[in-house]
A and B are shown apart, each in its own frame.
Chain A
Amino acid sequence: MKSYLVAIPVCLGLALVAAPAARAGSANVMADSCAGCHGTGGQSLGAMPAFNTKSADELKKMLRDYRSGAREATIMDRITKGYSEAQLDAIVDYYKK
Chain B
Amino acid sequence: MIYMDHSATSPVKKEVFEVMKPYLKESYGNASTFYSLGREAKVAMENARENVAKLIGANPEEIIFTSGGTESDNIAIQGIAYKLQSKGKHIITSSIEHPAVIETCKGLENKGFKVSYLPVYKNGIIKISDLKKAIADETILITIMHANNEIGTIQPIAEIGEVAKKHDIKFHCDGVQSVGKIPVDVNKLNVDLLSVSAHKLHGPKGVGALYIKKGTKLKPILFGGGQENDLSPGTENIPGIVGLAKACEIAKLELENNFTYLTNLQEKLIDGVLDNIEESYLNGDREKRLPGNVNFRFTGIEGESIVLMLDSKGIAGSTGSACSSKKLTPSHVLKAIGLEDLDSHGSLRLTIGMENNEEEVITVIEEIKSIVETLRSMSPLWKKK
Are A and B associated in one complex? no
**B residues touching A (Cβ–Cβ < 8 Å)?**
none
